[in-house]
Amino acid sequence: MPLSNTLTYNRDTTIAAITSYYDFLTKLYMPASAVMHSPDSGWPSITSTTFAALGKTDEVVDLLRHLPYIDRIADVPCAPHCYFADYSTGIDEGTRELTEPYEGTVEPHVVGLTLGGRDNLIFLLDTKLGVVHWVDCPSELTTSREQVMFVKEDEQGEEENDADDEHDEEEEESWRDNAPAWTAEDFFELLKEEYLAMNFVPTSAKEVFDVYSAYADEDKDLVPNLQQVLREHGWPDVENFRKEECLKALERTASAYLP
C-alpha cells in the first residue's frame, strides 16, 4: 500500500495519466473530436493572473495550463453522471463552488477535476502528493489498485498511521474523511477497469450509468441489458470492439427504459 510520505507529484506523469484515460474513452463511446489537447506552450487563457480568483498555487495553474480537456460543447461525460471541468475556457465566480466540496476547506494545492451539480462525482487532485481523491467513493467499489495510506509524524518525527489515531474535531470535519485516494496513475487505471468490468456502462455518447446507483424497479434491468449489448459487440476486447455499431445498439436498448 503506498504511503503518503513516500509519494511525490510529477506534472508530466499526471498529464499522461489523464491523456491515456481520455484516449481509452474514445475507444468505447466518446467522440475523438471531443478531446482538446493543449498547445506545446499550454493554454494561453490559463495564467497565474487570469486564474488568481481560483486561489490555487502556481503548481496547480501550471498543470491546468497543460492538461487536455473535454470540449464542454460536446457535452460528454467522463464517468457515470460526471463531467470533467474544462478550464481552457477560463473561470468565473462559481467555478470553485462547482469543482470542490465544503467551501473554503480545500487547500490551494488541491484542485477539482470535475464540475457540475450535487450529483456530479467529485475528484480532487493533490499536487503535493500526486494523488487523486474520490469524494464519497461508493463503498461497494473493489479494485486491485491500492489506496494511498496517509501517515503523519509525531513530535519525535516517528511515523504514525492516521487510521490508528483518533481524529481531533478539526480532522473529523475534513473533506478527506470520506475521500479515499490513489496515485494519479492508479486512479485513472481504476476508472478504466470499472469500464472494462462493465461496472460503468454508457447508454450513448452522452450518458454513462453504473452498477452502484439505485434504480427504479422498472429500470432495474437496464444496466444488465446494456452490459449484454457491450459483450455482443466485443467489449471488453478494446482492440476488436465495434464502437459505432455498439453505440447504436446501446441507444436502442436504453430508449426502452429512459424518457
Return the higher-pLDDT residue of 104 and 12.
12
Mean pLDDT of the chain: 90
Chain center to CA of 116? 12
Return the higher-pLDDT residue of 71 and 257.
71
> What's the rounded mean pLDDT across residues 92-105?
84
Percent of the chain with pLDDT over 70: 91
Residues 6+ apart with CB under 8 A from 47: 61, 65
Q: How far apart are CA 235 and CA 174, in angstroms?
A: 40
Write down the pLDDT at residue 21: 99
The β-bridge partners of 208 are: 202
Look at residue 54 and give its three-state secondary structure: helix
Angle at 56 between CA 50 and CA 62, to 5 degrees: 70
> What's the rounded mean pLDDT across residues 170-197?
88
- At residue 114, φ and ψ (nearest 5 deg) are -115, 160
Angle at 111 between CA 107 and CA 114, to 5 degrees: 140
> Which pLDDT tens digit goes with each residue over 117-157?
777 899 999 999 999 999 999 989 988 899 999 987 653 34
> What's the rounded mean pLDDT across residues 7-33?
98
**Domain extents in the chain:** 4-195, 198-255
Q: How far apart are CA 113 and CA 133, in angstroms?
A: 10
Write down the pLDDT at residue 153: 61
Contact 83, 114 (CB under 8 A): yes
202 has pLDDT over 70: yes
Write down the pLDDT at residue 30: 98
Contact 184, 14 (CB under 8 A): yes
Residue labelled with grid coordinates 496513475: 185
> What's the rounded mean pLDDT across residues 178-185?
95
Write down the pLDDT at residue 170: 53
Contact 204, 29 (CB under 8 A): yes
Look at residue 165 and give its three-state secondary structure: coil
